[in-house]
Structure 1
Amino acid sequence: MSRASKPDPTTTRTTDGAGRGNAAGPSVLTLTMNPTVDLCWEVGHLEDTGKNRAMVRSAAAGGGGINVARHVVRLGGRAVAFHTAGGEVGLRLNRLLDEEGMDHVAVDIDDDTREALVLVESESRHSFHIVPPGPYLRDHEGRRCLHLLEQAVDGCPYVVASGSLPGGLPDDYYAAVARRVKEAGSRLILDTSGPALRAALAEGVFILRCNRTEAESLTGHPISDFDDARALNEHLLATEAAEIAVTTLGALGALCSTRQGHTELYAPPLPGEPLSDAGAGDSMVAALTTQLIAGADPVSACAAGVAAAAAAMLTPSTESFEPDVAQSLRSQVRSRRQTDARHRGH
C-alpha cells in the first residue's frame, strides 16, 4: 500500500496497493494487529527421540480478525480484513489472502509477521497449537495503523478487533481503537486478552466476548459455571465496559448478557469426535457478527455463535467450519432466560 494513498476497505490490497473492487462494500471490518501464517502439520505418533516425519496439511493466513473475516464470508456476509504485514512472512500472508480471494488491507511494518504451528497427532487425535509472540511495532507504526483504520472504518457498521497485540504497542491500544470506532459511528466487537483487554474495557465496547481463561483473568477467581459468568457479565454491564457481554464456558456453552437480562446458551452435542478447539472462538464471533448484520437480536446471534463454535470443534487446526454443520447444530442449542432482578431500567 502506498503510504500516500487512502485505503479503500472495499478493495483487496497488498502492500503495493494493487487490488480488485467489491462494489457492494463490507458489512464488517476486522482488525488483526498480530496476524500469522498458520502451518498445520500431521504426525502419526509424536516421539521424543529421532525424527518425526510430518505431512504438511495446510498453510493459511491466520490471526483472530483474519479468521473471523474468512468465516463471515463463508456464512454469506461481506468482510474486509485489516492487518499488519512485515518481512518475507508478511509477503506470504498477503499472497495467501490474495489466492483465497479475501478482501484485505495490509499495512507495512518493519519486523517479520509471525508463523504459528498446529501439530496434529493422528493416532491420539490430539492437536498442539504453538504460537510465538510475533513482531515488535514501533510507535510510528502503531499510529499509522490507527490513522489508516480510521479511514477504512468509514461506512462500515461493525468492526471486530480480535487477537493479541504485538510487542511495542501500548496496553491501551484497543482502547484507542474503540474510541475511533465510536467516533466513526460504528460498533466494536472485541475479543482479546491480558492488559489490552482491561484497558479497552475502561473505554467501553459494543460487545465483549471472552472465554473462560480471559474471564478468570478479569475476576481473579475460577469461572466454572453460568453463575460465575453472570457475576462477571453483570459487572461489565454495570460499569458500561460493554453493552453486550458474552462469556463462553467451553463445552458447557455461553452466557449472553444484555441490559434486558441473561440467557444461558447450552452447547449442542457434537455429531463426531472433537479434533481441535483452536478455531472455536473466532468461529463464534464470526457467526454472531453475521447474524447481527442480518438483523438478529443479540441472544439469537449468540446462539448461532455457540453452534458455529461447536462445528469448529470438528475441524483440525483453525480450518473453517462447515456452515451446513453449524446450521444443523443451531436447532440443538438450548437456552434458558433469566431476567436480571437488579435491572434498573438504564
Structure 2
Amino acid sequence: MILTVTPNPALDLTWHVDRLIEGGTHRADAGAARAGGKGLNVARVAHAQGSAVLAVTTAGGRAGEEFAAELAASGVPHALVPVAADTRRSVAIVDRTLGDTTIINERGANPTDLEWAALIGEVVERLAAASVLVVSGSLPPGAPETLLPLLIRVGRDAGVPVIVDTSGPALLRAADAGATVLKPNMAELVEATGIADPVEGARSLIGRGAELVLLSLGADGMLAVTAADLVHARLDQPLAGNPTGAGDAGVAACAVRYAAGDRDPASILRLATAWSAAAVLTPLAGDISSRWTELEQQLRVSHPDPSSFRKDPS
C-alpha cells in the first residue's frame, strides 16, 4: 500500500476561461471543487492506476466539510484528522487560449500540537500495512520544523522508503533526515540549495542523505540523479494544458515503482515523466490521460554528461 501524507491540504477550485485578462471581468462555466493538496493528488493518480493507497490528511471548518464530502465521493481510501482551523482553498484559472494556468494558494493555518500529534499517530498506525510513504506538499506557516524529519524518521524506522515533495528550507531538512527520494522542480532546487547547476544542486541533496532526486525541468522533461547515475527523459515537443498536477503525477509514478520493489532510476524516471506529461492533458490535478502509455513510448531517455546542463556564465 502507498501511504500518502498531506500536511497542508486544500479545497481546489478550478475555472476555465477563454482568455485571462489582467483587471478584466471573465465569464466561465461552473467551476470544479476537489479535495486537493499534493499528497492527495498523488493518491488519486496511484489509485486510478490500480494501486492500493491510503491518503492521510486533515480537515476543518466549512471548507473542510466540502473537502471531506468530495473526498468521500471520490472513492480514494483516506483517513481524515479533524482540526479546528478552516481547510485552505486553492484557486486555479486555466486560460484556454494560451494554455496557461494562474494559481492562487491560500497559505493555510497551522494545526495545534495535539492535532499534529494525532496526524503523526495516524501515520504510525497505518505504516504497518504500507510499502512506501509519501509526504507531499507545503507546510502551513508556523508548522514545527521537526514535523517533516519526524515523519521521515517514523517511515524509516518502519523500514519503508520515504518519498518527499516539498520546497524551501523543508527540502533541506528532508534531505538531512534521510528521505529516500526527493522531487523538487528547478526553481525549488535553486531556492533551497543556492546552486544553479541542476546536477550539482541535486547531488548536494544526495550528499545530505537522499538516495534519489527526481528533478522536474518543465518543458525539458525530468532528471533522475543519484550519487553515481544521471538519467534524462523528455518529449520532443512540450504539451499544452494544465500543469498543476504534473509533479504530483510524477511522484505517484515513483511511489508505484517503489511499492513494486523497483529501484532502477531509469525505470522510475520513464514512468514518472510519462505520467507527468499525461497529467498536463487533463483539466484537474490528480488525473492523468490514458495516453500516458503512448507518451512513454515517445520519450527520449539518455545518460547525458553532467556538464551539458551547466549554463554558460556569459
- What TM-score results when the alignment is normalised by the length of structure 1? 0.82
Tell me, yes or no, if structure 1 residue 65 matches structure 2 residue 39. Answer: yes
- Partner of residue 311, structure 2: none
Distance apart, 1:337 and its partner CA: 2.5
Structure showing greater relative contact order (alpha-carbon pairs closer than 8 Å, 6 or more residues apart)? 2
Q: Percent identity between the aligned chains?
A: 32
Moved runs in structure 1, 4+ residues, more than 6 A? none
Structure 1 unaligned runs (5+)?
Answer: 1-26, 223-227, 341-346
CA 1:106–1:146 in 2, change beyond 3 Å: closer, same or farther?
same
- Partner of residue 86, structure 1: 60
* Matching residue within 228, 232, 244 for 2:212: 244
Q: Distance in 1 between matches of 2:242 and 2:21?
A: 21
Instruction: Indicate the SS of the match to 2:13.
Output: strand
- Say if 2:42 and 2:286, in contact at 8 Å, map to a contact too: no
Q: Distance in 1 between matches of 2:129 and 2:25?
A: 53
Considering only CA atoms, is the larger Rg found in Structure 1 or Structure 2? 1
Structure 2 unaligned runs (5+)?
Answer: 307-314
- What TM-score results when the alignment is normalised by the length of structure 2? 0.90
* Matching residue within 258, 280, 285 for 2:246: 280
* Matching residue within 71, 74, 85 for 2:48: 74
- Give the length in aligned residue pairs: 305
* Equivalent residue runs for 1:31-180 within 5 Å: 31-47=5-21, 51-180=25-154
- Say if 1:39 and 1:115, in contact at 8 Å, map to a contact too: yes
Instruction: Indicate the SS of the match to 1:166.
Output: coil
- Say if 2:172 and 2:205, in contact at 8 Å, map to a contact too: no
- Say if 2:231 and 2:301, in contact at 8 Å, map to a contact too: yes
Q: Deviations over 1:4-55 (max 9, x none)?
A: xxxxxxxxxxxxxxxxxxxxxxx10000011111111122334556742222
Q: Distance in 2 between matches of 1:49 and 1:216?
A: 32
* Matching residue within 274, 279, 294 for 1:307: 274
Q: Deviations over 1:274-308 (max 9, x none)?
A: 11211110011111211232343232012110111
- Partner of residue 229, structure 1: 198
Q: Which moved more, 1:55-64 or 1:207-216?
A: 55-64
CA 1:252–1:124 in 2, change beyond 3 Å: closer, same or farther?
closer
- Say if 1:139 and 1:168, in contact at 8 Å, map to a contact too: no
Q: Deviations over 1:117-160 (max 9, x none)?
A: 11123333332111110122122211221122111212311000
CA 1:262–1:33 in 2, change beyond 3 Å: closer, same or farther?
same
- Partner of residue 262, structure 1: 229
Please provide the CA RMSD for this pair: 2.0
Q: Distance in 2 between matches of 1:142 and 1:78?
A: 25
- Partner of residue 312, structure 2: none
- Partner of residue 7, structure 1: none
Tell me, yes or no, if structure 1 residue 327 matches structure 2 residue 281. Answer: no
